[in-house]
Amino acid sequence: MSPRDKAQDRLFCEIVAQLIIADAAVTDEERAFIERLMVRFGLDLDDRQVVFGSIDIGQPIEERLHKLDRAHRKELLEELEAAAAVDGEVGRGELEIIDEVRRALET
């Protein structure tokens, strides 16, 4: 297996983090989810700060999706669905992002 691309892992986490804040409230479960994801990808404290600092609720997710490589895209939808459901409630904003990603992946 080839080594992971840190920039791609960070971008992946940025997309998941954008979904998590889509409903303007981050639960403890959601925070723990994104923290576990960043640990899984081996992101250090500086990378984690970049992830959280880069989130803009109004930024179209499509911009980030176009920068994400094929390997990460395959994994993304499943991770977004899990992140949206982690607090037991999937909000409208979260659904919109999941639908946008699903459409982008189909093209």
The structure tokens listed for 19 are: 């979904």
In the predicted model, what is the mean pLDDT of residues 53-69?
Answer: 86
Over residues 96-101, the mean pLDDT reads 92
**Residue 60, phi then psi, degrees to nearest 5:** -60, 135
Tokens standing for residue 69: 């490589």
pLDDT band at 2 (very low <50, low <70, confident <90, very high): very low
Gap between the Cα atoms of 34 and 54, Å rounded: 14
Could you tell me the two tokens for 103?
A: 């459409």
The ranges assigned to domains in the chain are 6-106
pTM for the whole structure: 0.90
Residue 1: pLDDT over 50:
no
Answer CATH for 6-106 from 1.10.10.10, 2.60.120.1270, 3.90.1330.10, 1.10.3680.10: 1.10.3680.10
For residues 70 and 76, give the distance between their C-alpha atoms in angstroms, rounded to a whole number: 10
Pair of tokens at residue 63: 């911009």
